[in-house]
Amino acid sequence: MNVIFRKFPEGDVIALFPEELADSRGNILSYQTVGQHGAANPELIQD
């Protein structure tokens, strides 16, 4: 299972799982300590 980490300017870190679809709209599974698991836009993977 691949995982990609991104750090937001505010310092929060999110783990993105690009191979795990979260819903039928094409969002991927993510994990963040603040909000736990949820759907994320796959564009967060791009730099």
What residue spans define the domains of the chain?
Answer: 4-45
Task: Give 46's pLDDT tier (boundaries 50, 70, 90).
Answer: confident
* Lookup: tokens for 34: 């603040």
pTM (2 decimals)? Answer: 0.82
pLDDT (average), residues 13-34: 94
Q: Which residues contact 23 (CB under 8 A, 6 or more apart)?
A: 39
Residue 47 is predicted with a pLDDT of 61
Percent of the chain with pLDDT over 90: 68
Question: Residue 32: CB partners within 8 Å, gap ≥ 6?
Answer: 12, 13, 14, 15, 38
CA distance 16 to 34: 14
DSSP summary character for residue 24? T
* pLDDT of 30: 95
pLDDT digit string, tens, across residues 24-44: 999 999 999 877 889 999 988
